[in-house]
């Protein structure tokens, strides 16, 4: 026989001693990157698409105003404002924004930004009212929250 019979080599069992290390590494990664969902949405929210968007770097300097039709059908279809965990009216916006800004470190208050997360079907009347309230509250940095569109063409498609 030209071929020698192979000697059987016993494969040593794979050591699992480093498994906890790997798992811990992943664990720390997720612990650091995780952000808990802060509010439960009470309104239906479908954000518009845009291409010229910028990241809002500092979450602690940003406060969110949600606008959309209430998820609770008993409250009707008309878009409503959600501040923190409850539905509110336009009249509440000014004071709420001022209170939110009070929580920001004084040196960083000029960077305080309000992010409007509005549903695409909301009307500009409501949003303009909010804008006026923000102007009264001297919260002049504003962000219209939007999802990134890969190209302008793709964005236009949504309007046909």
Partner 1 sequence: MASKKRPVPEINAGSMADIAFLLLIFFLVTTTMDVDKGLLVKLPPWTEESSEEQDIKEKNIFVVLVNSQDQLLIEEEYAALEDVRRLAKEFIDNNGDGSCEDCRGLRDPNSSDNPKKAVISIQNDRGTSYKIFVAVRNELLGAYSELRNDIAQRKFGRDYDELSEGDIELINEVYPQFISEAEPVKIGG
Contacts to partner 1 by CB under 8 A: 16, 19-20, 23-24, 26-27, 30-31, 33-37, 48, 50-56, 59, 62, 64, 67, 113, 115-125, 127-128, 131-132, 134-136, 138, 140-148, 152, 155-156, 158-159
Q: Which is nearer to partner 1, 9 or 36 (CB)?
A: 36
Rounded to a whole number of angstroms, the minimum distance from the CB of residue 24 to partner 1 is 5
Q: Which one, 7 or 37, has the nearer CB to partner 1?
A: 37
Residue among 64 and 93 whose Cβ is closer to partner 1: 64
Residue 137 and residue 150: Cα distance in Å, rounded? Answer: 35
CB atoms within 10 A of CB 33: 7
Distance of closest approach, residue 71 Cβ to partner 1, in angstroms = 18
Give the nearest distance from C-beta 26 to partner 1 in angstroms: 6
Closest CB to partner 1 among residues 92, 119 = 119
Tokens (6 digits) for 4: 């020698």
Give the largest CA-CA distance in the chain: 96
- DSSP for residue 99: H
Question: Is 3 or 30 the residue whose CB approaches partner 1 more closely?
Answer: 30
Contact indicator for 133, 97 with CB cutoff of 8 Å: yes
Contact 128, 144 (CB under 8 A): no
Q: Shortest distance, CB of residue 7 to partner 1, whole angstroms? A: 34
> Minimum distance between the CB of residue 61 and partner 1, rounded to whole angstroms?
11
Instruction: Classify residue 93 by burial, with Cβ atoms within 10 Å: 0-12, 13-18, 19+.
Output: buried
Name the nearest CA neighbour of 61 among 136, 141, 145, 148.
Answer: 141
């Amino acid at each position: 026989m030209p071929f020698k019979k192979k000697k059987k080599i016993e494969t040593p069992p794979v050591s699992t001693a480093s498994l906890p290390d790997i798992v811990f590494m992943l664990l720390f990664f997720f612990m650091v990157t995780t952000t808990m969902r802060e509010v439960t949405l009470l309104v239906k929210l479908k954000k518009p698409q845009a291409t010229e968007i910028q990241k809002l770097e500092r979450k602690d300097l940003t406060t969110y105003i949600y606008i959309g039709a209430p998820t609770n059908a008993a409250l009707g279809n008309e878009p409503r404002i959600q501040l923190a965990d409850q539905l509110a009216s336009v009249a509440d916006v000014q004071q709420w924004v001022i209170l939110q800004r009070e929580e920001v470190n004084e040196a960083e208050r000029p960077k305080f930004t309000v992010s409007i997360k509005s549903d695409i079907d909301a009307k500009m009347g409501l949003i303009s009212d909010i804008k006026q309230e923000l102007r009264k509250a001297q919260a002049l940095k504003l962000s219209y929250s939007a999802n990134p569109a890969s190209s302008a063409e793709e964005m236009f498609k949504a309007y046909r």
